[in-house]
């Protein structure tokens, strides 16, 4: 009988349920297309995001960080996280689409299950005149040293989010 109880206790411990905490193992948005609701504007705050099924990586760029350059030059600007720009990772209860971010009134579902804001890192933006259209600037956005800390204190540092994406802005008249 003792062996049976010991076996049941061992199996119970081995197959016990978690305490319900959501564990984030990796944040991978490398192959996901960058989206935005309205065309990026160099003089205002810009909301850019990537959606991967039920996950989203959201970048809120500070105003004036999308610098317009000079023809033939590459301009590099940086924005510190979280003091100037913000990077947020969200997990939703179901597949999410850009309507969640772009609609005037966001849909009631899916709901946010977990949200983690970056506590460190830099946004690096390289700006050049579009080689195919000299009335536009191309801004290549990269993330460096982005570090998330979950509610349970787990640090997720993912340096693999190197290329966040590209956006274009118009050359001012």
Tell me: pLDDT of 151 over 90: no
Distance CA 153, CA 116 (A): 11
Q: Can you give the pLDDT at residue 24? A: 60
Collapse the DSSP code of 9 into the 3-class scheme (helix H, G, I; strand E, B; otherwise coil) and give the result. helix
Phi, psi of 10 (to 5 degrees): -65, -45
| Predicted pLDDT of residue 159 | 52
- Per DSSP, the residues of 43-58 read TS-EEEEEEETTEEEE
The span from the CA of 17 to the CA of 10, in Å, is 14
Backbone angles phi, psi at 61, to 5 degrees: -85, 135
Is the link from the previous residue into 37 a cis peptide, with omega within 30 of 0?
A: no
Provide the residue ranges of all domains of the chain, joining segments of one domain with +. Answer: 25-170
pTM for this prediction: 0.80
Mean per-residue pLDDT, 137-154: 88
Residue 96 has pLDDT above 50, yes or no: yes
């Amino acid at each position: 009988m003792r062996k049976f109880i010991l076996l049941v206790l061992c199996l119970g411990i081995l197959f016990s349920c978690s305490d319900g905490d959501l564990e984030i193992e990796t944040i991978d948005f490398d192959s996901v297309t960058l989206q935005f609701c309205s065309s990026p504007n160099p003089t205002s705050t810009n909301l850019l995001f990537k959606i991967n099924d039920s996950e989203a990586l959201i970048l809120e760029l500070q105003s004036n960080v999308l610098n317009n350059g000079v023809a033939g030059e590459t301009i590099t600007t940086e924005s510190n996280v979280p003091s100037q720009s913000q990077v947020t990772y969200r997990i939703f209860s179901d597949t999410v689409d850009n309507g969640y971010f772009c609609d005037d009134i966001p849909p009631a579902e899916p709901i946010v299950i977990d949200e983690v804001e970056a506590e460190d890192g830099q946004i690096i933006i390289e700006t050049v005149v579009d080689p195919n259209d000299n009335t536009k600037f191309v801004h290549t956005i990269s993330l460096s040293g982005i570090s998330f800390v979950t509610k349970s204190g787990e640090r997720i540092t993912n340096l693999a989010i190197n290329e966040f994406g590209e956006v274009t802005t118009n050359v001012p008249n």
